[in-house]
Structure 1
Amino acid sequence: MLMNSKNLKIACALLMLTPLSAMAAQNLVIVGFGGAAQKIQNSTIFEPFSKKAGVGVVQTEYNGEMAKIKVMAETGHADWDVVQVEAPDLERGCAEGLFEKLEWPALAAGQQLIEGSQQECGSAALVWGMPLVYATDKVKTVPGSWADFWDTDKYPGKRGLRKGAMYTLEYALLADGVPAADIYKVLNTPAGVDRAFAKLDKLKPYIQWWEAGSQPMQWLASGDVVMTTTFSGRGAVAASEGLKVAPIWKGSLYSMDYWTIVKGSKNKAAANAFITYANGQAPQQAFSQAIAYGVTNKALSDKLDPVKAPWIPTSPQNMAVAMPLNIEFWVDHGEELEERLNAWLAR
């Protein structure tokens, strides 16, 4: 019997909500970036989904190594099912055939999701930001810009930056006086790239490069740095635990992480069901109440925890002064700029 499109959508939605233990040959393996965010994802999303759908969930973490995913997809031996990835990796991985194409609109299950949430191979997991965070007990004057981040005379001490070209080059140009609206236009030229690295030259002796998301807050706590970039959720957790830190959002970047399904996953039905569940209001609200990351369900836009609002990138006051990461730029130029940064670091 043929189904019309409306009935097909209803059938898909019902399928996503029914127990899937008979379909899943093994546990659903979900991979994220670890830390406080994944612990909260586990309690507010992974475990409730497992109970509701009757699917076993095993979680693990990684540092964004796409090489592992590439091997799984190309060999057909996918040990991971659902993986959280950053937006540029989503774009590149989808183009290279590393991820399954997602089954929209069924995965939204009638939910209204914010713009950019529904990608060909990804469903947005959360909205994160990379603000400037400073130690309020060590910095006498509140910094107001990336120019202040670079001003080691007015603000003595080490700085923390994520080890990578992305975010770093944008902030260098902002510190050098480039208007936020022109950042990617300038960075898209050889002269603009040279300008960003020339600005980095001036700060190089003061930089501690972090790779793990836990490092920036550890360094602020120990006094190794006086200000740093960090993932907003990490900063919020540290502040809630008593660390004297505060964020500056002016000129800071925000973007989304996405749930993807590794090409060749043996648990594709359960993976689809998980993504559908994760898009729902209840798990997203529980997640946002526990940690300061932005959520993607439009129904929750006016239900953010006011205590956490200073740290949440989608808070109106933060969105007004922050800027979105230009994913297309980094997909096109990421490899060459990362190579240049590595050469610069080696000098």
Structure 2
Amino acid sequence: MQHFPLRTLVLAAAAVLAGPALAQQGITVVNFGGANGAAQKKAFVEAYEKSTGTKITTVEYNGEQARIKAMVEAKKVTWDVVEVEGPDISRGCDEGLFERLDWSKLGSKSDYLPAAVHECGVGAFVWSTVLAYHGDKLKNAPTGWADFWDVKKFPGKRGMRKGARYNLEFALMADGVKAADVYKVLGTKDGADRAFKKLGELKPHIQWWEAGALPPQFLVAGDVAMTTAFSGRIDAAQREGQNLKITWTGGIYDLDFWVMPKGGANKEAAMKFIALASSPDAQAEYARHISYGPTHTKAMAKIDPKVQALLPTSPANSKDALRFDVAFWADQGEALEKRFAAWAAQ
């Protein structure tokens, strides 16, 4: 049997008694890092720490829902607030991985974009996956996905995120399907076959990426002539002086959400963070640091028109865009991703 000094035992007892109070000493917020993480630090994290005196530890991850699931099932939840992608909020909510959100702390649901309102979370920002290229290396600007597929007119490799999401939609648009009809077509067996066939045409020219930091690096290095990319990553490279460009036509926009993993010890503090990050002022500040659109409808009026012009939510950039269909991917995503993995491995 181990013997502990009396002081240690007293401190341990005090820690047990003060459990909830100590838990409020800090919260852990998890995001995707990179330019997005840096913008969140300026707009949300620093503002929260200043207004509450509570320290935030930020953790970077790559969207692995399995890590949240393992914590919740083991009842050892160390993450208080997590940023998740659209399809993952619905799936995680259905599986009981997230707390139900107290919307009374966030103001009126009507102040948010309809897509931002969810029982298990709130939209953090609107982002877009777009066609990007290097302005110094392409003489003629590509006008859409048909050009992305045209390796004769635009020779060179193509960067694409490794997965079925987005790529199947882009393939159908490249094959002449209107944005408004993409999910209707993709939902049929013939439509899915058509998308994979079109993707197959480009396969010898594809350089896959998984981390969002890679597409701008590919373009700057000249590894690819064009790439799919998160619009905010291209924006960050532009701010560093790189002449990278975006073709917004046929871009797919989606929302990331704030959620609280079920069973976290700091629910009240976590909810306070989400409320601050959802406020118009904080969202406007975030948009100044990265070109992702706000989900609170009153934030846009606080954003400079020059900044607005760079956002996926601006009228010019969203007019030919496709809204990522979360319900479609929740329903058919698993089968399509399995098919994609088998196709990519061939």
Aligned to 2:195: 196
The sequence identity of aligned pairs, in percent, is: 48
Q: TM-score, normalised by structure 2?
A: 0.91
Cα pair distance change 1:110/1:180, threshold 3 Å:
closer
State the secondary structure of the residue aligned to 1:295. Answer: coil
Q: Does 1:302 align with 2:290?
A: no
Aligned to 1:42: 41
AA aligned to 1:193 is A
Give the distance between the partners of 2:254 and 2:22, measured in 1 at CA: 34
CA contact (8 A) 2:179 2:320 kept: no
Aligned to 1:312: 311
User: CA deviation digits over 1:247-300, x for unaligned, max 9?
Assistant: 111111001000000011011110111111111122111111111110112112
Aligned to 2:261: 262
Give the distance between the partners of 2:340 and 2:227, measured in 1 at CA: 19
Give the distance between the partners of 2:213 and 2:316, measured in 1 at CA: 26
CA contact (8 A) 1:50 1:56 kept: yes
User: CA deviation digits over 1:84-133, x for unaligned, max 9?
Assistant: 00010000000000000001132237982222222110111110001101
AA aligned to 2:71 is M
Aligned to 1:130: 129
Aligned to 1:5: none
Aligned to 1:89: 88
Q: TM-score, normalised by structure 1?
A: 0.91
User: 1:44 offset after TM fit, Å?
Assistant: 1.5
Runs of 4+ in structure 1 displaced over 3 angstroms?
21-26, 302-311
Q: Does 1:223 align with 2:222?
A: yes
AA aligned to 2:310 is W
Cα pair distance change 1:228/1:265, threshold 3 Å:
same
State the secondary structure of the residue aligned to 2:116. Answer: coil
Give the distance between the partners of 1:111 and 1:337, measured in 2 at CA: 34
AA aligned to 2:296 is N
User: CA deviation digits over 1:23-80, x for unaligned, max 9?
Assistant: 7344200000000111111121111102212211100100001100011111111011
AA aligned to 1:332 is D
Residues 1-347 of structure 1: matches in 2 within 5 Å? 22=21, 24-108=23-107, 112-347=111-346
AA aligned to 2:147 is D
Give the distance between the partners of 1:327 and 1:337, measured in 2 at CA: 14
State the secondary structure of the residue aligned to 1:160. Answer: strand
Give the distance between the partners of 2:222 and 2:177, measured in 1 at CA: 30
CA contact (8 A) 1:111 1:280 kept: no
State the secondary structure of the residue aligned to 2:146. Answer: helix
Give the distance between the partners of 2:322 and 2:91, measured in 1 at CA: 22
CA contact (8 A) 1:24 1:270 kept: no
User: 1:309 offset after TM fit, Å?
Assistant: 3.9
State the secondary structure of the residue aligned to 1:153. Answer: coil
User: CA deviation digits over 1:149-189, x for unaligned, max 9?
Assistant: 00000000111111110000000000011111110011001
Cα pair distance change 1:111/1:276, threshold 3 Å:
farther
Point out the structure with max Rg over C-alpha.
2
User: 1:306 offset after TM fit, Å?
Assistant: 3.6
User: 1:301 offset after TM fit, Å?
Assistant: 2.1
Give the distance between the partners of 2:209 and 2:289, measured in 1 at CA: 25
Give the distance between the partners of 1:52 and 1:309, measured in 2 at CA: 27
Give the distance between the partners of 1:344 and 1:308, measured in 2 at CA: 40
Give the distance between the partners of 1:309 and 1:123, measured in 2 at CA: 22
CA contact (8 A) 1:173 1:195 kept: yes
Give the distance between the partners of 2:249 and 2:337, measured in 1 at CA: 25
Give the distance between the partners of 2:35 and 2:136, measured in 1 at CA: 24
